[in-house]
Amino acid sequence: MNVLAQTDAFAPYSRTYERIIGNCDLSIGKIRGFTLGDSLATILHSEKAILEAQGNDFLYYRVLCDSTISAEITYTFDEKNLLISIGIEFFESCKHKLVGNLSEEFSMNLHSFYKNCTDIKMGSFQCKSETGVHIEYQKLKSEMCVIHTQIEFYQYF
């Protein structure tokens, strides 16, 4: 039996979206079960994705979603090894339309949850929560029909 992660969004999610976002609470910046302020050791111990790279202030993981999409998850840490940023990045074909584009699913869910969003330019927006979580979303479409999506969650002061 396959159990999907519980999230705070309003609509049913695609399996790919669930694999990437994992256990989340968008109001506090909890993504994949981790909250801004968690330690590097906590993430190293608990993250189930494939560790691709590690440095003094970052961890870089790959989440395999299906045969066409994988996502890169970057955790960035401050000098005390506390989590200050969670980044999600993935590429998808704009021709891949079984249910819809994953980038649009992220965009719709972020806009549904965060009411304080500002469009920056076509395909890009920023949101701020009442709890201090800041989200930056950017979607770029290439001439070769590839959509590149980047999402970053971090605290703002």
Tokens (6 digits) for 153: 């969650």
Residue 2 covered by a domain: no
Gap between the Cα atoms of 12 and 21, Å rounded: 13
Residue 5 covered by a domain: no
Gap between the Cα atoms of 157 and 149, Å rounded: 25
Residue 3 covered by a domain: no
pLDDT of residue 13: 77
- Segments in the chain below pLDDT 70: 1-12, 96-100, 157
pLDDT of residue 46: 96
Residue 131 covered by a domain: yes
Segments forming the whole domain that contains residue 29: 15-155
SS3 for 144? coil
Average model confidence (pLDDT) across the chain: 85
Q: Determine the Cα angle at 52 with ends 48 and 55, to 5°.
A: 105
Q: How many domains does the chain have?
A: 1
